[in-house]
Chain A
Amino acid sequence: SAVISQKPSRDICQRGTSLTIQCQVDSQVTMMFWYRQQPGQSLTLIATANQGSEATYESGFVIDKFPISRPNLTFSTLTVSNMSPEDSSIYLCSVGTGTPYEQYFGPGTRLTVT
């Protein structure tokens, strides 16, 4: 498995501002993912964070709104830009690792936009 941490654990932000969420892993991993989980809902993949290249976004998510960085094999950031109340959600990073391959989740960042 992998030990995954996220910062911040929660935040309350004003609309129109941006928040950057950090994800740190205790070992080098090839695959890192960012998910959104709205209250009482399932997990929706925002993007795959690729080291050394642009992130791959899922349908409905765009780079201008959710810019992602992946500077190395243990760290990634997700920025939620120009926030609106609809962005209130839990944002989780996930890593894929191991042989056989498995995916694990970070503790999440609970974002409230007022």
Chain B
Amino acid sequence: GENVEQHPSTLSVQEGDSAVIKCTYSDSASNYFPWYKQELGKRPQLIIDIRSNVGEKKDQRIAVTLNKTAKHFSLHITETQPEDSAVYFCAAGNNFGNEKLTFGTGTRLTIIP
């Protein structure tokens, strides 16, 4: 089955700086890579996703890149703000067949004011 590794497990950055979280996956059949943000006591919230037919996707201050050859994808947050503090999860799956997702272990991001 799919295996997703996520690094780092914790990340602290100064407000205004950029944050990068990296994930690798094992199953070459995976073609859908969402990122979720989970604030304390809340549900995971889908913030951005990328599919295997593109290499990069941006939405305001967040961007995701995908390297299918190397089987890794990354989340980039620019101009970080205190409200970006949360746990971020990457996931991998496919939107053909059973569509289940395998999640990474999470990154606790802390923005230092």
Contacts and interface: CB of A to CB of B under 8 A. Distances in A.
Interface of A: 31, 33, 41-45, 48, 56, 92, 96, 100-108
Interface in B37-69: 42-46, 49, 51
Given A43-B103, A48-B98, A56-B98, A102 B34 contact: yes
A100 B94 CA distance: 12
A106 B95 contact: no
Contacts of A104: 46
A104 B49 CA distance: 12
Given A31-B99, A106-B43, A108-B43, 6 more contacts: A42-B106, A43-B44, A43-B103, A100-B95, A104-B46, A107-B43
Interface of B: 32, 34, 36, 42-46, 49, 51, 89, 95, 98-106
